[in-house]
């Protein structure tokens, strides 16, 4: 079992970890598919799309050749409506306030940075974080391993001095590839098997569990 001794910083995923974006993300995917003339699954059928890079989702939903078209249509709605169809998980502000007394806190999301910052400001969570990291609108840094590598370099942290908190397998893979600790957020959209498959064995059922764990 991994130890958190010597940890200086905690990196948080956004979607499924700090906020529940189901309504906005699934609604915008439906919007894109509808305009592309493709079958439109229900919102519950699209929850698997929460977390992975958007281009990966559309590659699977339609085809790699039409993924860019899907992303563009998605952002058409997301940039003005979808990003605020979101809610902060219960207890997150108190958890962040408590952890910020002991650790440097950062956000690392494969969502475009411009949207990450807007969402954090809208829900008044931005003040807890020293810096936020996200992808570019061109798709750069949407891979969580690359994003965390960049974030560690920018902050001057080593992987062994930082832990990632996220709700999906790609968060765990990103942490593993950078020598970081990892805690799974089971209240999000992942499950224990996703984390165990990468070699991690710590998770919490509710945000409050993070205060007990750290």
Q: What is the pTM of this model?
A: 0.93
Q: What is the pLDDT along the chain (214 residues), one digit of tens a residue?
A: 455 778 999 999 999 999 999 999 999 999 999 999 999 999 999 999 998 889 999 999 999 999 999 999 999 999 999 999 999 999 999 999 999 999 999 999 999 999 999 999 999 999 999 999 999 999 899 999 999 999 999 999 999 999 999 999 999 999 999 999 999 999 999 999 999 999 999 999 999 999 999 9
Whether 201 is catalytic is no
Instruction: Please count the CA atoms within 13 angstroms of the CA of 167 that sit on its side-chain side.
Output: 26
- Exactly one of 13, 20, 167, 171 is catalytic; name it: 13
Which residues, listed in sequence order, are joined to residue 19 by a DSSP beta bridge?
15, 88
Nearest to 134 by CA among 125, 119, 124: 119
Task: Report all structural domains of the chain as residue ranges with CATH numbers, in order of start.
Answer: 9-20+87-213 (3.40.50.1000), 22-84 (1.10.150.240)
β-bridge mates for residue 108, sequence order: 133
In sequence order, the 6+-apart residues with CB closer than 8 A to the CB of 5 are none
CB atoms within 10 A of CB 46: 20
What pLDDT does residue 1 have? 43
Coil, helix or strand at residue 41: coil
Q: At what angle do helices 22-35 and 67-78 cross, to 10 degrees?
A: 130
According to the model, what pLDDT value does residue 6 have? Answer: 84
pLDDT for the residue numbered 195: 96
User: φ, ψ for residue 8 (rounded to 5)?
Assistant: -105, -25
Per the CB < 8 A criterion, the answer to whether 152 and 162 are in contact is: yes
Rounded Cα–Cα distance for residues 44 and 31 (Å): 15
pLDDT reported for residue 5: 74
**Which has the closest alpha carbon to 87: 31, 22, 11, 30?**
22
């Amino acid at each position: 079992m991994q130890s958190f001794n010597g940890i200086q910083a905690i990196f948080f995923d956004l979607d499924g970890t700090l906020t529940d974006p189901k309504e906005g993300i699934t609604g915008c995917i439906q919007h894109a598919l509808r305009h592309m003339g493709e079958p439109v699954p229900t919102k519950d059928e699209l929850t698997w799309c929460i977390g992975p890079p958007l281009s990966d989702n559309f590659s699977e939903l339609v085809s790699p050749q039409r993924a860019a078209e899907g992303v563009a249509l998605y952002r058409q709605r997301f940039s003005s409506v979808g990003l605020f169809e979101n809610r902060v998980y219960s207890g997150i502000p108190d958890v962040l306030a408590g952890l910020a007394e002991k650790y440097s806190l950062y956000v690392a999301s494969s969502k475009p940075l411009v949207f990450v910052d807007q969402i954090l400001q809208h829900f008044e969570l931005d003040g807890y974080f020293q810096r936020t990291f996200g992808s570019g609108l061109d798709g750069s840094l949407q891979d969580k391993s690359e994003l965390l590598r960049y974030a560690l370099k920018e902050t001057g942290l080593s992987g062994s001095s930082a832990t990632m908190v996220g709700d999906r397998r790609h968060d765990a893979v990103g942490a593993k590839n950078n020598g970081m600790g990892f805690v799974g957020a089971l209240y999000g959209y992942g499950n224990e098997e996703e984390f165990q498959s990468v070699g991690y064995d710590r998770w919490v059922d509710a945000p409050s569990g993070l205060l007990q764990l750290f």
